[in-house]
Structure 1
Amino acid sequence: MQKIEINSVDGAEILKQLNRHLNGELTQRWGEHILEFNNELGVGIVRTIAFDWGVSLVDYDVNFVEDTKIIFNIENANPVEFIFISEGKLEYINDSEERPLTFERYQNIIISTKKLSKETYVFPKAASVKVNFIYVLPNEYAKKKNNNLSYLSESLFSAFTEENKNSPYKHYGNFNLKIADQIKQLHDSHESGIVRTLSIEGQLNLILAMQMLEHSNYENGRALPESLSKEDIKKIHNLSGYIIDNISEPLSVSALATRVGLSPKKLQLGFKVLYSKSVNEYVRQLKLEIARDYIKNTNYSISEIVYNIGFKSRSYFSKIFFERYGILPTDYRKKIKA
């Protein structure tokens, strides 16, 4: 496992310290600092840009060859960190947690540590991780006209005051795909010069607002259509076992949603979070995988297999089997029996 120690929350300095280990190339354009690397340590791009009032972005799109610990030892700042993972996951360790935590894809996370504490983020090996860190320095942000910090919830407001020097703050919130969509727009920006800078700043403020809104709804027990709780995710995860056990039965979105007590829209969102597929795409893929196992490991006829996985049309089954595996079911059986 490689370890990288960072002692700054300044984005440009973070990239310099990362590059001492990653041996990449540092560039700067339109106020953005960019680190690119592609070597025996891995491949990736880390970008950063800072704005007035103590707001900055550090964006990672990386894939390391081995597990990589990035350890932050910050002595002179207590930023509030707004974290959102668009791809992959991270393990998180700090002085106030009894055991490591896993930050999941699409989960809304807001943290602020005690002063002089240490934070560790573990990037898993051979896995793509895309994660946004928006750092807000409370003392700087408080100087902003119309900062409206007093309208924050009491718990989040405490993270923006002197109290957070000795009391860590943490919010491990719901899973939210609207935030993911907004971050995708941030990544897809192709403007240049002042237009690009203004666009990034505007989108950054919008992402912050969305993360604060999710936090507020979470604390007040309000469930939004585009937000999923951990309990929702567990229900959907458990549903996969039911689908396998009942693969020959009709498995409509509405019937599955009723079974787990979620709306069809939330069920679809959950499948996108867990499997990056719609419900129907997931069920169809599972049917094909089970059918392939039947062909390989049983003497059932193709027609019997079609019936066992709940399809009515053999020709349709052959069509989607070919699209998935590049071979017809009958030819696949001949090939493995040869």
Structure 2
Amino acid sequence: MKELIIKSSDPKMIFSQIHSCINGEMRQEWGETVLTFDNEIGKGIIRTISFNWGVSLIDCDMTLYEETKIIFDNEKLSPIEFIFITEGFLNYSENNTSSYTTLAQFQNTIISPKRSAKNTFLFPKGVKLKVNFIRIIRKEYLKKKNNNICYLNDLLVTLFNDNVGDDAYQHGGSFSLRIADEIKLLNNVQDSGMLRSLSLEGRLYLILSLQLLEHNNFVEKMNLPEAISKEDISKIHKLTSYIVDHISEDISINILSSESGLSPKKLQLGFKILFSKTVNEYIRQLKLEISRDYLKNTDLSVSEIVYSIGIKSRSYFSKIFFEAYAILPTDYRKHLKNKNSSLS
């Protein structure tokens, strides 16, 4: 495992230390610092940009070839970090212990460690990771005219006004595709110069406002229409077993809604978050994967396989199988038999 200890909260100093560890090419343009690397450590892009009032962005899009631990060991009070992962996952420990919290994809996370805590992130090996850190130095942000901190919920008001750092705070909130969509737009800004800086700053504040809104609704036990809870995610995971057990039946969204207690809209949102597919797309893919295994590992006829996975038309099955695998079911089985014959 690689380990990097960072002694500063300043984004430029953080980048300098990361650069010395990862190497790669570092460039600066329009106020952004961008580190690109493709070597034995991994492949990816890390960038940072700082704005007024103690607000900065660190954005990572990378895959590391070795598990890597980054420890922020700073005597000063650490910034409040608004973290959102659009691909992959991270593990977090407030004080570099063996006990980690997993920061999940699409989950809104807010972290504020104690002063002098060894704020630790464990980056996984071989996992494509896209993560945004919006970092706020509270003392600087409170100088901002019309910061309107007083209008936040009591928890966040206390957090922003804490200049001592006696207490740690960690929020693992709802899962939100709205925030994910806005981060995608942030990462796709193509402007240059002043237009780019303004676009990035505007989108950053929009994302931050959505993260604050999610926190408020989570604390007030309200649901955003585009958010989903851990409990909902757990119910959807259980549904995947139900779908496998009833794959030969006609599985409708209404049946799954009744089985899980989730609304059809919440079901669609959950499947999109977990599997990047609608409910029907997920079921169809599962039917195809099961049929492929049957073709490979059993002597069932194609008609028997079609019946066993709950598809009524053999011609429709052949059509969607070909769309998925670029080969007809009968040809796929022949290919497997010929391959096995050549090996015997």
CA contact (8 A) 1:96 1:168 kept: no
SS at match of 1:105: coil
CA contact (8 A) 2:82 2:211 kept: yes
User: How many residues in Structure 1 have an aligned counterpart in Structure 2?
Assistant: 338
Q: Distance in 2 between matches of 1:248 and 1:154?
A: 52
Partner of 2:341: none
The CA deviation at 1:193 is: 0.6
Cα 1:42–1:97 change in 2 (3 A) is closer
CA contact (8 A) 1:248 1:308 kept: yes
Partner of 2:121: 121
SS at match of 1:165: coil
Q: Distance in 2 between matches of 1:28 and 1:21?
A: 18
The CA deviation at 1:303 is: 0.8
SS at match of 1:58: strand
Q: Distance in 1 between matches of 2:18 and 2:98?
A: 27
Cα 1:76–1:94 change in 2 (3 A) is same
Q: How does 1:209-220 map to 2 (within 5 A)?
A: 209-220=209-220
Q: How does 1:51-66 map to 2 (within 5 A)?
A: 51-66=51-66
The CA deviation at 1:337 is: 2.4
CA RMSD between the two structures? 1.3
Stretch moving more, 20-29 or 159-168 = 159-168
Cα 1:24–1:198 change in 2 (3 A) is same
Whether 1:283 aligns to 2:292 is: no
Stretch moving more, 315-324 or 141-150 = 315-324
- Aligned residues with identical type, % of pairs: 55
Q: For 1:234-285, what per-residue CA distance to the aligned partner results, in whole angstroms no more than 9, with x for missing partners? A: 0001100000000011112232122211111211111111112111111111
Q: For 1:4-24, what per-residue CA distance to the aligned partner results, in whole angstroms no more than 9, with x for missing partners? A: 121222222211100111111
Q: Distance in 2 between matches of 1:51 and 1:77?
A: 19
> Match of 1:165, as an amino acid?
G
Q: Distance in 1 between matches of 2:296 and 2:268?
A: 32
Partner of 1:186: 186
Q: For 1:97-126, what per-residue CA distance to the aligned partner results, in whole angstroms no more than 9, with x for missing partners? A: 882110000000011011111111111111
Partner of 1:17: 17
Q: Distance in 2 between matches of 1:203 and 1:12?
A: 21
Gaps (5+ residues) in structure 1? none
> Match of 2:302, as an amino acid?
I
Q: For 1:194-251, what per-residue CA distance to the aligned partner results, in whole angstroms no more than 9, with x for missing partners? A: 0110011111111110000000000001112211010000000110000000001111
CA contact (8 A) 1:113 1:164 kept: no
SS at match of 1:207: helix
The CA deviation at 1:40 is: 0.7
Partner of 2:342: none
Over 6 Å off, 4+ runs: none
TM-score if structure 2 supplies the norm length?
0.95
Q: Distance in 2 between matches of 1:46 and 1:299?
A: 51
Partner of 1:99: 99
Stretch moving more, 313-322 or 185-194 = 313-322
Q: How does 1:1-338 map to 2 (within 5 A)?
A: 1-95=1-95, 99-162=99-162, 165-338=165-338
> Match of 2:18, as an amino acid?
L
Q: Distance in 2 between matches of 1:43 and 1:302?
A: 44
Stretch moving more, 327-336 or 201-210 = 327-336
The CA deviation at 1:60 is: 0.6
CA contact (8 A) 1:158 1:164 kept: no
Cα 1:98–1:172 change in 2 (3 A) is farther
Cα 1:98–1:160 change in 2 (3 A) is farther
